[in-house]
Amino acid sequence: MATLIKTDGSKLEIQPQNGLDFQLDELQKFVDGYIEIINLHNGDILVINDNGKDVLDSNETATEIAHKHNAILGWDYICGDVVM
């Protein structure tokens, strides 16, 4: 089970199509582009759009989660929908 964190702050529980694990094309559809992985250092990861800052709205919820886990620098931020 994973959570899709939308830019509007809403969250949606999601599951991989095959029932086991997410495939690359699946993750790319959720984040609307090429992916980048952010390690939260607690066993969880954030899958974000690699070029999100160029074209997508800010995701304050995902940014707060990343800051809480010291996964990104204090001035950095995340844009676009995120899979956690």
pLDDT in tens, 19-72: 999 999 999 999 999 999 999 999 999 999 999 998 999 999 999 999 999 999
Q: How many domains does the chain have?
A: 1
pLDDT (mean) for 1-14: 97
DSSP state for residue 73 in the 8-state scheme: -
Domain with 77, as residue range(s), is 2-83
What value, to the nearest 5°, has the Cα angle with vertex 43 and ends 40 and 48? Answer: 45
Dist. CA 19–CA 75, nearest whole Å? 37
Position 52 scores a pLDDT of: 93
As a whole number of angstroms, the distance between CA 65 and CA 17 comes to: 26
pTM of the model: 0.95
- Gap between the Cα atoms of 84 and 81, Å rounded: 10
Q: What is the pLDDT of residue 1?
A: 84
The encoded tokens of residue 79 equal 């844009």
